[in-house]
Structure 1
Amino acid sequence: MRLLQGWTTALAATVALSGAAFADVTVSQSNDPAITLGGQMTSLLGMERTAMGQVAPARLAALADGVQIKRPSAKREAKKAGLPEISTPNLIRYDNSFLDALPATSGDEQWQCLTTALYHEARGESVRGQFAVAEVILNRADSPAYPRSICGVVNQGCQFSYTCDGKSDRAKEKGAWIRAGKIARLMLDGAPRALTAGATHFHTVNIRPSWSRRFERTAAIGAHLFYRQ
């Protein structure tokens, strides 16, 4: 049953990818009574194979139980390729096996700042905990109360302890850095902020900053408590 459900999910995604082309085939078939049901299925499966061949392996690996996301760049990519503007869903799971199936990532200065913050602030946390910390940073960058960029947020004063501890920010744990980079890439590409209910602050469970008594607690994940200002 799980295999059937997985195949159905993948088929649904590829139908979405094929978009207008699938609609055209459906219309043309409905106007030709000579086409049998078997012929329709053959056409559909052939189109499914074609569409699957155009999907990157990382996206196929992401088709599993998880959280739906929409990449904000999908519209731009479709326009560049001369295709209809179709929102293509991805699915993410908060576990290492999902991250390990994705290719290593890279990015601009904002990606670098987010990856560095996740590495130093949350690499000892679960994947879910690392995504939660990323949510806080992005929520701050979206708030008029904070700098309007990721790098501005993480380098503001001593809001994040690693920026003021006098130690090198160079990553020494390659695996943790790669995972942090993948999480940063997913979040920058539009992964939903579904874990912390808009949190703008977090702290470890062994401390209690003064603001924790004023702000609303929204989540507890691993060793971190999350709050919304």
Structure 2
Amino acid sequence: MSVLKCWTGSAVLLLALAGGVHAEMTVSQSNDPTAALGMNLTALLGQEKAALGAVSAARLTKIVTPPVAKPSKSKSDGNIAYDADWLAEQPAAKGGPEFECLATALYFEARGEGIKGQAAVAEVILNRVESPTFPQTICGVVNQGNSRGCQFSFTCDGRPENIRDRGAWTVAGKIARAMIDGAPRQLTDGATYFHTPAVRPSWAKRFEKTTKIGRHIFYRAPLKTAMN
């Protein structure tokens, strides 16, 4: 009888322990973070698959295609194209007396020459400002004259300087502003003089021709050395 009781007690104890172990395992599994993560990940992947299934093929292609960089409207070597696209990028221009003098010179001297031609004339004026041979301001260069006449004919032709073509004035202003603000002077190779083919000034034979843009031929003074 004692043996039976002992066996019975042992069996009950084993069953109790087994139940306890099962209970621990059940609790442990229900709190397993990897199990929860797996369940959540499966749910998320299912949601993503369903959402992608609702997107058209064209939309998916657009989403995964990287954006194409827009080419610069300036030349690839860093120089300015001086074309309509470049002009459109320039902000509305304004400024003080120096700006007004340059814009006025471009309007009256070169508005029929297009964007590039006006930029070339602006180069000449700014090159003169930096030369010791000419006045050191834009207005000084534009209004320079002597007993033989004016450097820029519109300043002493006796006609009032009325701006009638507002579109042309806007173009001249944008070019003037860009040049004053440091646009590269790449067109005339340092020229400080220009004239039209309609005239043949005596100085042109002594100066170095640099280029011809539109109806203007550009020159720079000959290089002076100790030998001459």
Which of the residues 186, 205, 217 maps onto 1:194? 186
The percent of aligned pairs where both chains have the same amino acid is 56
Counterparts in 2 of 1:138 and 1:67: CA distance versus 1, 3 Å: farther
Work out whether 1:64 is the aligned partner of 2:73. Answer: yes
- Distance between the aligned counterparts of 2:89 and 2:74, measured in 1? 14
Work out whether 1:134 is the aligned partner of 2:143. Answer: no
Checking the alignment, whether the CA contact within 8 Å between 2:110 and 2:118 is kept in structure 1 is yes
The correspondence of residues 153-192 of structure 1 with structure 2, limited to 5 A, is 153-157=141-145, 158-192=150-184
Work out whether 1:96 is the aligned partner of 2:88. Answer: no
The Cα of 1:94 is off from its aligned counterpart by 1.0
Output the amino acid matched with 1:64.
K
- Distance between the aligned counterparts of 1:160 and 1:65, measured in 2? 31
- Distance between the aligned counterparts of 2:121 and 2:142, measured in 1? 11
- Distance between the aligned counterparts of 2:89 and 2:190, measured in 1? 28
Output the amino acid matched with 1:156.
Q
Task: Tell me the SS of whatever aligns to 1:4.
Answer: coil
Q: Which residue of 2 aligns with 1:215?
A: 207
TM-score by length of 2: 0.62
- Distance between the aligned counterparts of 1:118 and 1:67, measured in 2? 27
- Distance between the aligned counterparts of 1:139 and 1:65, measured in 2? 23
Q: What are structure 2's unaligned runs of at least 5 residues?
A: 1-66, 222-228
Q: Which residue of 1 aligns with 2:17?
A: none
Work out whether 1:4 is the aligned partner of 2:68. Answer: yes
Instruction: Encode CA deviations 1:91-116: one digit per residue, 9 max, x unaligned.
Output: 74311233134332100110000000
Checking the alignment, whether the CA contact within 8 Å between 1:114 and 1:151 is kept in structure 2 is yes
Q: Which residue of 2 aligns with 1:78?
A: none
Counterparts in 2 of 1:68 and 1:167: CA distance versus 1, 3 Å: farther
- Distance between the aligned counterparts of 2:73 and 2:81, measured in 1? 8
Q: What are structure 1's unaligned runs of at least 5 residues?
A: 10-62, 70-90
Larger Rg: 2
The Cα of 1:163 is off from its aligned counterpart by 0.4
Checking the alignment, whether the CA contact within 8 Å between 2:74 and 2:86 is kept in structure 1 is no
Checking the alignment, whether the CA contact within 8 Å between 2:192 and 2:218 is kept in structure 1 is yes
Task: Tell me the SS of whatever aligns to 2:124.
Answer: helix
Q: Which residue of 2 aligns with 1:144?
A: 132
Output the amino acid matched with 1:121.
E
TM-score by length of 1: 0.62
Counterparts in 2 of 1:214 and 1:168: CA distance versus 1, 3 Å: same
Instruction: Encode CA deviations 1:185-215: one digit per residue, 9 max, x unaligned.
Output: 1001100110001000000111111111110
